[in-house]
Amino acid sequence: MKIFCHSLTLAALCLASAVAAAACNNPANWYESPNEGIKFVIGYNEDTLLLGSQTMNGLTMQAYPDKVPEDLLSKSGTGALSTTYEDAEGKPRTTADGWISYFEPNPAGGWRICRKEKWRSHTPNSKPDVIHLSKQNARNNKKVASIAETHDLGSAQVFLYDAKGRIERKFSVSPSELADNQPQRISGFHCYRYDDKDRVLLWVRATETRRCPAGEPDPRDDFHRFEFAEVEGKVWHKWIEQHSGKEDGSWSKRIDFSVVPAEYMTSTIAVAEAHELAGGGHVTSAAGVTKILGGSDLLGSKDKSHNYKWPYASGSLPPVEYFFTKPPVPISLLRNPEEIYQYDRRRETSVSRVIKLVEHFKAGEHQVRDRFYTALGRTMRQEQYDEQGRLKRVINLLDLDPMQDGKFYGDEPQDLKRTKIALRLKTNLIYYRVWEYDDAGKATLVALGWNNRLGSAVAKKEMFDFADIRYGTPDGKEKWQGKEAFFKAFDFDPNARRAYPKNSQDR
């Protein structure tokens, strides 16, 4: 095994790690128990759970090991392997298995954890190769060598630090399934890269490569990457990238980013508002950016639309979310939101618990041409606009009461009582209403789809999908034979498919 230097600029850090590793851990043989320049306590398991733990935000991880108490160091070379636990009946039991914790000098003049070994007592099932390997690697330390006569090494946890004393790498080796002439089995390989304020810039779980990256992480490994901004001592995230890799090289990411203009970087008050201007991008190796969730008004602000803001009960506004319908879309879009206009996209906004507004924009265009209000994937209302953004046609389905559902129908005249409809249709349930608008914005009802069963407006028991629907004009005359002809006549999209990619699964 080699020490992996990241670059020429990090050569000093690698050298420092190599010096520390030489005292406590042997890079040529991670199984080897150390003897010189270290202190160790038998039967003691140093708590390292938080040291270099998986970091989700780059700020809360413990980068420096705990200070080792003097009274513990005074016990160096002493102790006995034993572990006390409770059995199934809650009674205390003691086993001869246990830990040995090793400590090395740190840059501050104290001592730090550098290695932990788990030893297990021999059993009839112990493998001769593992027993032999354990004895060979304990021979330089007399105390541990005596333990190897009755125990074998179950695993060793290795802790390596940078020149500043921060955890740089940690991993485990286990000889339980290996003979002494086989490669070392490394698992749980974690790498850390920091800024000058001890904030984690990069955490890598090198499951596939089992090495720390010199530059960009290998896409097969899992990693988190962070970028920070700081104003008047207030720290916030500009970028949180969570990467999940696979053995075949495919991957997916969740990237939380902030689209904050320069004027927001002047005060803590503005910074406090910055989280409202952030979004989360979903990225895959196959399609690039597929969607941005939780976006702000600064994202796609040029996309012209009519009202799309319906406050929650709390008064806060729902997020504006973008989906990209023609991959691939590069990650660079998350750093430069202006690129959003180069791609076909749809914008989704929650209107109520069941109603969603879907707006479709073509690449290079900012003016919405189709807006859909959908429920469970069905178009409840479709609005069609001309090139100047003027509303030209509306197709409504069923008879939702806009007063009970957030007034998302706006000011359009919905009261059919004010509109001339054939007397013969007064008892028929109306399903489809088509309104057309003149240049002055005046609406005219031009077509209907009605239940052909008399009295259906009163009963309202017949399922919509099984009803005998006829299509015609408000005077009650049938004009279109079937829904396909009716939909084609008014360019109605019953499932808002034009706003979704083929075979889309993200409705």
Q: What is the mean pLDDT of residues 149-163?
A: 95
Q: How confident is the model at residue 397 (pLDDT cuts 50, 70, 90)?
A: confident
| Whole-angstrom distance, CA of residue 459 vs CA of residue 468 | 15
Residue that wins the pLDDT comparison between 239 and 416: 239
Left, alpha or beta for 482 (phi > 0: left; psi -120 to 50: alpha)?
A: left
Mean per-residue pLDDT of the chain: 82
Comparing CA positions, the residue from 337, 262, 348 lying closest to residue 301 is: 337
Q: Say yes or no to pLDDT of 405 above 60.
A: no
| Whole-angstrom distance, CA of residue 434 vs CA of residue 426 | 17
Burial level of 441, CB count in 10 A (0-12/13-18/19+)? Answer: exposed
pLDDT of residue 316: 66
Cα diameter, the chain: 105
Give the best-scoring range by mean pLDDT among 144-153, 247-256, 294-303, 329-338.
144-153
pLDDT of residue 178: 61
Q: Say yes or no to pLDDT of 333 above 70.
A: yes
| Whole-angstrom distance, CA of residue 5 vs CA of residue 214 | 7
Interval 436-487: pLDDT, tens: 999 988 888 999 999 998 888 777 666 777 889 999 999 999 999 999 999 9
Cis? peptide before 474, omega within 30° of 0: no
Interval 272-305: pLDDT, tens: 554 444 567 788 888 888 888 776 666 777 777 7
Tell me if 304 sits within 8 A of 391, measured CB to CB: no
Residue that wins the pLDDT comparison between 238 and 277: 238
Kindly report the pTM of this predicted structure. 0.75
Q: What percent of the chain has pLDDT over 90?
A: 41
Residue whose structure tokens are 């259906």: 456
Q: CA 197 from chain center: how many Å?
A: 25
Comparing CA positions, the residue from 274, 297, 360, 354 lying closest to residue 325 is: 360
Q: How confident is the model at residue 16 (pLDDT cuts 50, 70, 90)?
A: very low
Q: What is the mean pLDDT of residues 428-443?
A: 89
15 contact partners, CB below 8 Å, separation of at least 6: none
Residue that wins the pLDDT comparison between 65 and 467: 65
What are the backbone angles phi and psi of residue 87, rounded to the nearest 5°?
Answer: -80, -175
| Whole-angstrom distance, CA of residue 484 vs CA of residue 232 | 62
Interval 84-128: pLDDT, tens: 666 677 777 777 889 999 999 998 889 999 999 999 999 888 888
What are the backbone angles phi and psi of residue 343, rounded to the nearest 5°?
Answer: -130, 150
Q: How many beta carbons lie within 10 A of that of residue 220, not counting itself?
A: 16
Q: What percent of the chain has pLDDT over 70?
A: 79
Tell me if 475 sits within 8 A of 422, measured CB to CB: yes
pLDDT of residue 102: 98
pLDDT of residue 505: 47
Following DSSP, what letter does each residue of 291-319 receive, concatenated? EEEEE-TTTTTTSB-S------TTSPPPP
Helices (H) and strands (E) in the chain, counts: 8, 24
Comparing CA positions, the residue from 63, 99, 71, 70 lying closest to residue 83 is: 99
Q: How confident is the model at residue 267 (pLDDT cuts 50, 70, 90)?
A: low
Comparing CA positions, the residue from 349, 338, 345, 279 lying closest to residue 307 is: 349
Q: Say yes or no to pLDDT of 78 above 90.
A: yes
Q: Say yes or no to pLDDT of 412 above 60.
A: no
pLDDT of residue 285: 81
Cα dihedral 426, 428, 431, 432 sign: negative
Residue that wins the pLDDT comparison between 68 and 8: 68
Q: What amino acid is encoded at 191 in this protein? A: C
Q: Say yes or no to pLDDT of 21 above 60.
A: no
